[in-house]
Structure 1
């Protein structure tokens, strides 16, 4: 388990959300080379994002900002 400070947790969730969205859009590009590499990367980032959101939910009361407000 990664230890995340309460101050950094919302930023980390948002950064990973943006990374997932960006890479989803990138996969729609017709000029993309090595699509399989990007698909694998997106899968890994998506899994990491899910894990961070799960950990965030455990800290949500201490942070004082609901996950739903930042995703």
Structure 2
């Protein structure tokens, strides 16, 4: 898959936001089927790590350091 360069930072940010949202969702007391959400969070976290590694390998092409795109 070839993702246009301007979309890469948005993709990283969106997946990071999804991870943060799902982490907070797991603290909800009204949540049912917690196991499904935990599994989803694991997959999101793994996806984010994959995207970060890919971004790091092509950081020079994008012109921004990973830390500038998604500060930790």
TM-score normalised by L of structure 2: 0.90
Alignment of 1:5-44 (within 5 A): 5-44=4-43
Unaligned runs of 5+ in 2: none
Aligned residue pairs total 70
TM-score normalised by L of structure 1: 0.91
Question: Could you tell me how far apart the structure 1 residues matched to 2:44 and 2:54 are?
Answer: 15
Unaligned runs of 5+ in 1: none
The CA RMSD over aligned residues, in Å, is 1.0
Q: Give the structure, 1 or 2, with the largest relative contact order (CA under 8 Å, sep 6 or more).
A: 1
CA positional deviation for 1:3: 3.5
